[in-house]
């Protein structure tokens, strides 16, 4: 500022005050699944400072995870680096780290390696498998929520066929070629269908001592029907399709005990049944992720019987309006007196909704409640076999299978993924090749020799 001193005729400059830095509204997203990733994308190029925290550096397209477990696709086919997806948004950063605690009063999320202050928190960590108080079953009955689960399941499945090929013990061979899937929801049905297709078509002729068609695939569901949320006609159609693939469907039965060599079922009438098997696959029941448990404890938030955090029509925790919960972690009202299902389309729409809600708030506009647009749901059994409902229209068979394929290809995050999966599916459609590699470190020869007490002459 120019000032003239009349007495000395000096011209001096008065320092101007520094501009006050305005801190951007900080949005922290915990979890890079469908809900978290879609929220981060929708907040790209906005006036918000966005941080996406995840224990993994990639987004996993979970609806196709069972195809990794059964050898149709590879992990790379359904995984995309979060950093690559969000690279064009300068206001969004991704951090790799496990979130282990949260201070809701100071509004800080603590993760391995640092902390992230927030003005708005979006919790999107999903859920994990629940064994209903029998966590020791996990060792014998792997679930299907992560890449590691899928690879472990694939290892067990194809290892079982290899072990059955070389054994001369009929009882052991029957155990190895018996596969029990616990849980008759979409995941269990799709897994059972894929296994049925493997044993009845894909792997036929690959072995000399066994016939894969002799394998037993058993689907167990505690309710009266498989696919409980679906219409009766679609349930019946799905059951017929499974039985065409030699899959045994057991309803009104629940797992009562699982060991390394058998599963005991308890039927609705009180009777028990023991099935000797070395292969039990878990697709029943979910519960809060560890961060979900932490968030529920720190906020004293209400949970539903399935362990999901109860939110209002704006997907906010009632006790903490600056915390939004989306995806499988949320018990969100469906507008009909119930709650929304834990489906990928629900999480996608919720992620976009919260981003839009924040933008409206920044402009001083009133909030609008979340409304889920239900485009339908589908469950694929095998090639040409699928059931579903699209905008209220019930579809089944080859047409439903084609629609399912197109929808899932279109839903993949990156264009190169869509092309890769299309090529993979076409190759499986016209042939029987599959990714049936048994990965992992094989036993060391020296260890096997020690087990069988092989003694070698000392070298000179």
The pLDDT tens digits of the residues spanning 166-197 come to: 999 999 999 999 999 999 999 999 999 999 99
What per-residue confidence (pLDDT) applies to 375? 92
- Is residue 196 domain-shared with residue 139, that is, in the same domain? yes
pLDDT confidence band for 209 (50 / 70 / 90) = very high
pLDDT category at 326 given cuts 50, 70, 90 is very high
- Quote the Cα angle for 308-372-66, to 5°: 65
More confident residue, 191 or 436: 191
> Is residue 261 among the annotated active site residues?
no
Q: Report residue 21's pLDDT band, with 50, 70 and 90 as the boundaries.
A: low
- Note whether 251 and 387 are same-domain residues: yes
Residue 411 lies in a domain: yes
User: What is residue 12's predicted lDDT score, i.e. its pLDDT?
Assistant: 46
Mean pLDDT of 146-167: 95
Name which of 5-9, 85-89, 305-309, 345-349 the model is least confident about: 5-9
Edge to edge, what strands does the sheet with 49-54 contain?
92-96, 49-54, 26-30, 120-123, 320-325, 316-317
pLDDT at site 6: 38
- Where does residue 306 rank: exposed (0-12), middle (13-18), buried (19+ CB within 10 A)? middle
Q: With CA atoms as reference, report the closest residue to 107 among 115, 99, 98.
A: 115
What mean pLDDT is predicted for residues 427-442?
66
Say yes or no: 203 and 265 in one domain.
yes
In a domain, 214, yes or no: yes
What's the DSSP call for residue 299?
Answer: H
Mean pLDDT of 346-356: 98
Measured in whole angstroms, how far is the alpha carbon of residue 334 from the centre of its chain?
22
Residue 7 pLDDT grade (very low, low, confident, very high; cuts 50, 70, 90): very low
Whole-angstrom Cα distance, residue 128 to residue 139? 15
pLDDT of res. 13? 44
- Which of 69, 256, 40, 226 shows the shortest CA–CA distance to 155? 69
Q: How many residues does the chain have?
A: 460
pLDDT at 435 over 70: no
328 & 249 share domain? no
What pLDDT sits at residue 455? 80
Residue 453 within any structural domain of the chain? no
Mean pLDDT in residue range 384-396: 94
Q: Which of 332, 362, 392 is the last residue of a domain?
A: 362
User: 102-124 pLDDT, tens per residue?
Assistant: 999 999 999 999 999 999 999 99
Residue span of the structural domain in which 357 resides: 26-55+97-128+287-362
User: Quick one: pLDDT band at residue 413, thresholds 50, 70, 90?
Assistant: confident
Same domain assignment for residues 157 and 255: yes
The residue among 291 and 21 whose pLDDT is bigger is 291
Does residue 18 have a pLDDT over 60?
no
Give the per-residue pLDDT at 355: 98
The confidence score (pLDDT) of residue 307 equals: 83
Q: Which of the residues 152, 163, 190, 313 is marked catalytic?
A: 190
400 shares a domain with 335? no
pLDDT at 4: 41
- The H-or-E segment that residue 35 falls in is helix 34-42
Q: What is the pLDDT of residue 424?
A: 81
Mean pLDDT of the chain: 91
What does the pLDDT read at residue 451? 82
Q: Specify if 227 maps to a domain.
A: yes
Torsion of CA 440, 444, 448, 453, to 10 degrees: -160
CATH number for 355: 3.50.50.60
258 lies in the same domain as 328 = no
% of the chain at pLDDT higher than 70: 92
Lowest-pLDDT choice from 30-39, 165-174, 430-439:
430-439
**What backbone phi and psi angles, to 5 degrees, belong to 243?**
-65, -30
309 and 176, same structural domain? no
Asked whether residue 70 is domain-assigned, the answer is no
At residue 285, the pLDDT reads 83
User: Are both 186 and 239 inside the same structural domain?
Assistant: yes
> In total, how many domains does the chain have?
2
Per-residue pLDDT of 233-275, as tens digits, reads 999 999 999 999 999 999 999 999 999 999 999 999 999 999 9
Residues 6+ apart with CB under 8 A from 425: 72, 405
Distance CA 329, CA 292 (A): 7
Per-residue pLDDT, 2:
40
Whether residue 218 lies inside any domain: the answer is yes
391 and 242 together in one domain: yes
Angle between helix axes 344-362 and 34-42 (nearest 10 degrees) is: 30
Q: Does residue 267 share a domain with residue 298? A: no
In a domain, 124, yes or no: yes
pLDDT of amino acid 426? 78
pLDDT reported for residue 460: 57
Q: Do residue 221 and residue 246 come from a single domain?
A: yes
456 lies in a domain?
Answer: no
Band the pLDDT of 9: cuts 50, 70, 90. Answer: very low
pLDDT of residue 444: 75
pLDDT band at 414 (very low <50, low <70, confident <90, very high): confident
């Amino acid at each position: 500022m120019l000032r003239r001193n009349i007495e000395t005729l000096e011209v001096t400059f008065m320092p101007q005050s520094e501009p006050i830095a305005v801190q951007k509204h900080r949005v922290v997203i915990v979890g890079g699944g469908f809900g978290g990733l879609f929220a981060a994308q929708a907040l790209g190029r906005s006036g918000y400072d966005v941080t996406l925290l995840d224990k993994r550096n990639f987004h996993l397209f979970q609806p196709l995870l069972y195809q990794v477990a059964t050898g149709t696709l590879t992990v790379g086919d359904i995984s995309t680096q979060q950093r690559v997806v969000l690279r064009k948004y300068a206001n969004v950063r991704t951090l790799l780290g496990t979130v282990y605690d949260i201070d809701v009063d100071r509004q800080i999320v603590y993760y391995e390696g640092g902390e992230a202050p927030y003005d708005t928190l979006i919790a999107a960590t999903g859920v994990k498998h629940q064994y209903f108080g029998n966590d020791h079953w996990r060792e014998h009955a792997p679930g299907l929520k992560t890449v590691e689960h899928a690879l472990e399941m694939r290892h067990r499945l194809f290892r079982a066929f290899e072990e059955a090929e070389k054994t001369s013990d009929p009882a052991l061979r029957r155990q190895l070629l018996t596969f029990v899937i616990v849980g008759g929801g979409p995941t269990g049905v799709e897994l059972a269908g894929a296994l049925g297709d493997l044993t009845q078509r894909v792997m036929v002729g690959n072995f000399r001592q066994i016939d894969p068609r002799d394998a037993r695939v058993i689907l167990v569901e505690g309710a009266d029907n498989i696919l409980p949320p679906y219409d009766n006609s679609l349930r019946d159609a799905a059951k017929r399709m499974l039985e065409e693939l030699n899959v045994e469907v057991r309803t009104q039965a629940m797992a009562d005990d699982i060991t390394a060599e058998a599963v005991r079922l308890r039927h609705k009438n009180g009777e028990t049944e023991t099935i000797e098997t070395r292969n039990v696959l878990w697709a029943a029941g979910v519960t809060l992720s560890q961060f979900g448990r932490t968030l529920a404890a720190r906020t004293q938030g209400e949970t539903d019987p399935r362990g999901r955090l109860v939110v209002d029509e704006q997907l906010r925790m009632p006790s903490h309006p600056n915390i939004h919960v989306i995806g499988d972690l949320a018990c969100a009202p469906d507008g009909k007196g119930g709650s929304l299902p834990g489906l990928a389309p629900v999480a996608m729409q919720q992620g976009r909704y919260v981003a839009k809600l924040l933008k409206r708030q920044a402009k001083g506009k009133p909030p609008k409640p979340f409304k889920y647009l239900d485009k339908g749901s589908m469950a694929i059994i095998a090639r040409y076999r699928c059931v579903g409902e699209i905008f209220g229209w019930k579809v089944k068979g080859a047409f439903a299978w084609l629609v399912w394929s197109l929808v899932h290809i279109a839903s993949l995050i990156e264009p190169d993924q869509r092309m890769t999966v299309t090529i993979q599916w076409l190759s499986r459609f016209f042939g029987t090749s599959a990714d049936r590699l048994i990965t992992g470190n094989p036993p060391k020869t020296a260890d096997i020799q020690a087990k069988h007490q092989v003694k070698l002459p000392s070298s000179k």
